[in-house]
Amino acid sequence: MGEIQYTCDELGEEVDIHFEFNHERQKFLPYNRLQELVVHEKVNGALRDAAVQDAPVLLDFVTRLARKTFLILILMSTVKDKKIHLLRELMANGFTDEWLPVEFTVDRKSQQWTLSSINSPENPTGLLSPEWTRTVRDAFERYQRQIAVPFFDTTAKFYFSFPPGTIMPYLKAPLKPQGRGFFGEVSCYEMHSAHIRFPGSSANAEKPSIKLAVKKANDNADLAKFFRKEAENLNALKNNTTPNLIKPIAAYEINGDKCLLFPWADGGSLSNCWRCWKAGPLDPAGMEWIVNQFRGIFLALGQLHDSNCRHGDLKPDNILWFKDARNKGELQIADLGLATFHQLDADTRKREELVIQTTTPTGTRRYQAPETDGEQYHRSNPPRSRSYDMWSMGCVMFELLIWLAYGNDDVETFQRSTPDFFWERVSNSTTFNKTYSINPVVKQCIDIMRKDFPRNTVYGDLFDLISHQLLVFNPSNDQTPSEAHRLTAHETEALLNDISRRLEDPWYIPLRSSRYPRFQRNGGLFPSDQRSRNKADYQKIVSIAFPRVQARNRPANVHQLESKFNDVWDSTPDEDLAAKLSKTTLWRQLQPTQDGDTRLCNRCTAMNMANLAGPWVFQQGCGLCNLVRQALQRAHMPLSSRLQLQRGTIHAENGSDLLSIYKPPGI
């Protein structure tokens, strides 16, 4: 049988059949169709149909260098007017697919039209013959958008500047962003699988689309100024082989939008992982997985620090979970954001003169290190050290340990109970001579854990690492090992590696049921071998709420607009929420001992607290009267001070808060 002959019109119809629509209902030809449509027999048939001279030479030119260009000319052709003979002129000008997309310009004096590449100005300009009429030029520009659609490959080009009208190969777009931050918004788009190639994408090659995280920068002139530079810095990460660091795919600008492309984590963040494994990993395999994932995270963080880079906003929501079919997979550091890299040279010092500096914007407050105290007095954020990241990771690991030992309910209880920092400034310290202590709620948790986690167990070793070597107030700015400073990322990774090896010992992971604490009547813990294996079996004791953390000395967020409002925050009682919190494990552990009077005088028993106004009338032997007396003495206020009750808090008429009132359910 002879070779099947393809006409230009038949090939054009076949191209049209393979067009797909993107998320904006724009037609485009998927990249993988080029291999099917531009083959020897089809190109040769079309060249014969058009009676083109030098067909063998053009056949070689098309199949090697001009597949997209060939299809553009096919779509421009009609039965009576075939345009693929223009290939000879383009080949003579040195034209290849690398020129696409192109633009047409005219010399107004000579009225000579030329063809030039938009993205590759280094390519020569091609002079055009009179055959390139207005309709021909317009048709070429129209069809090139449908054929020369962007292709992203992490082994090739990273940064792109797409001209207006570029058709993006996204098949689906979200109705609204999945998240917003200082840099901008993050959305999950689905890109045609034939238009992207990155490590791990081959597993989804058979799927029609691949989910991607598209991070679009806010419309801010100062951010735009640094976008190109930071895109180049992120490009250096794509060759990093550490599995626990997310790799950027590409950066591009189009129609004024500035976007970064990353793989999409179907599992969400570390917080989602904790919610999915609500009770924590109950088997040795799960414990080994989570410990090794954090070991890898510190390995990746150490490599970033070695490259004069720090993250600056580490928190559970910035550790992504790429889960597998077994609900494990990989945890990856993400959201390096703008201004990630800090070159320790004159270039950094020059940037410090600008309003937007090479510093990561203020992140979630609770995970910030005490070094941020006083940032509100700076014109802009001072650069944060790599040791800052280690404090943040200490906070993350503290919550990880709560999850491992008690489950996600207690993680969420702890997070609600500590809305601000893990630290507080000591009240008698000054702006210029500041000292710090652990947040009272965190301190109470540490005290409970110290009793609850025996040494030479995975929980005890993780507790020692977190409480004694990460949540340390003296940072190590020079990254030299010292017992008086926080550990470096590499030192932490080495300790986690030792913990991981010890997980092979079955006695290293205590039975989970033996760790649920049970309180004696005096508030103390029973010995571990006498503890109840039933989480609901607890002694009911009189309790007060978590200590209130005053807001007056809190550092302000440097990105907040100047305001005339006082930075004093009040709590609003929520009885439903309080009832739920009172049933969780960690809440019961944090209840204090009953070491004072619990009786109430007749006045306090019958008193309507809502109508409290004026001096307190103290009665001997009354527990509440005694608490109010102690609160006034601590505040160095006279016992005759006029008091009021508002939102569950007794305070002086001058505004000083003295005491929070909490009544346990069932009392």
Confidence (pLDDT) at 474: 73
546 Cβ partners below 8 Å, 6+ apart? 417, 418, 440, 441, 590
Q: Which H or E element spans position 70?
A: helix 67-76
d(CA 531, CA 463) in angstroms, rounded, equals 21
d(CA 233, CA 358) in angstroms, rounded, equals 12
Please check whether residue 431 is in contact with residue 374, taking contact to mean a CB–CB distance below 8 angstroms.
Answer: yes
Confidence (pLDDT) at 64: 96
Q: Among the listed ranges 74-88, 432-446, 611-625, which one has the minimum average pLDDT value? A: 611-625
Of the two residues 301 and 386, the one the predictor is more confident about is 301
Please check whether residue 3 is in contact with residue 59, taking contact to mean a CB–CB distance below 8 angstroms.
Answer: no
Fill in the amino acid letter for 99: W
Torsion of CA 468, 474, 478, 481, to 10 degrees: -30
pLDDT tens digits, 355-395: 333 344 344 678 988 887 765 444 445 566 788 899 999 99
Confidence (pLDDT) at 336: 74
Tell which residue, 388, 376, 384, 379, has the closest CA to residue 552: 376
611, two tokens: 């109508």
Angstrom CA distances, 476 to 425, 470, 561, stand at 20, 11, 32
Strands of 525-641, DSSP E: 613-615
**Which phi-psi region, left, alpha or beta, contains residue 497 (left: φ > 0; alpha: ψ -120 to 50)?**
alpha
Confidence (pLDDT) at 576: 60
d(CA 284, CA 278) in angstroms, rounded, equals 16
Instruction: Quickly state the pLDDT bin for 577 (edges 50, 70, 90).
Output: low
Domains of the chain: 8-102+138-148 (no CATH), 153-263 (3.30.200.20), 270-519 (1.10.510.10), 596-660 (no CATH)
600, two tokens: 């109430």
Angstrom CA distances, 165 to 26, 149, 159, 244, 657, stand at 10, 11, 18, 37, 61
Query: What are the backbone dihedrals phi and psi of residue 319, each rounded to the nearest 5 degrees, phi first?
Result: -115, 110
Percent residues over pLDDT 90 in the chain: 43
Confidence (pLDDT) at 175: 82
Of the two residues 630 and 55, the one the predictor is more confident about is 55
Q: Among the listed ranges 386-390, 434-438, 445-449, which one has the minimum average pLDDT value? A: 434-438
Of the two residues 472 and 27, the one the predictor is more confident about is 27
Confidence (pLDDT) at 281: 76
Kindly state the DSSP code that residue 146 receives in the 8-state scheme: H
**Which phi-psi region, left, alpha or beta, contains residue 293 (left: φ > 0; alpha: ψ -120 to 50)?**
alpha
Mean pLDDT for all residues in the chain: 79
Confidence (pLDDT) at 158: 92
pLDDT tens digits, 12-49: 999 999 999 999 999 999 999 999 999 999 999 999 99
Q: Which H or E element spans position 172?
A: strand 170-172
Burial (Cβ within 10 Å: 0-12, 13-18, ≥19) of residue 594? middle
Q: Among the listed ranges 101-105, 153-157, 293-297, which one has the minimum average pLDDT value? A: 153-157
Percent residues over pLDDT 70 in the chain: 73
Assess whether pLDDT exceeds 50 at residue 96. yes
The DSSP result for 393-455, as a single string, is HHHHHHHHHHHHHH-HHHHHHHHHH--S-SEEE-TT--SSS--EEE-HHHHHHHHHHHHHS-T
Please check whether residue 329 is in contact with residue 292, taking contact to mean a CB–CB distance below 8 angstroms.
Answer: no
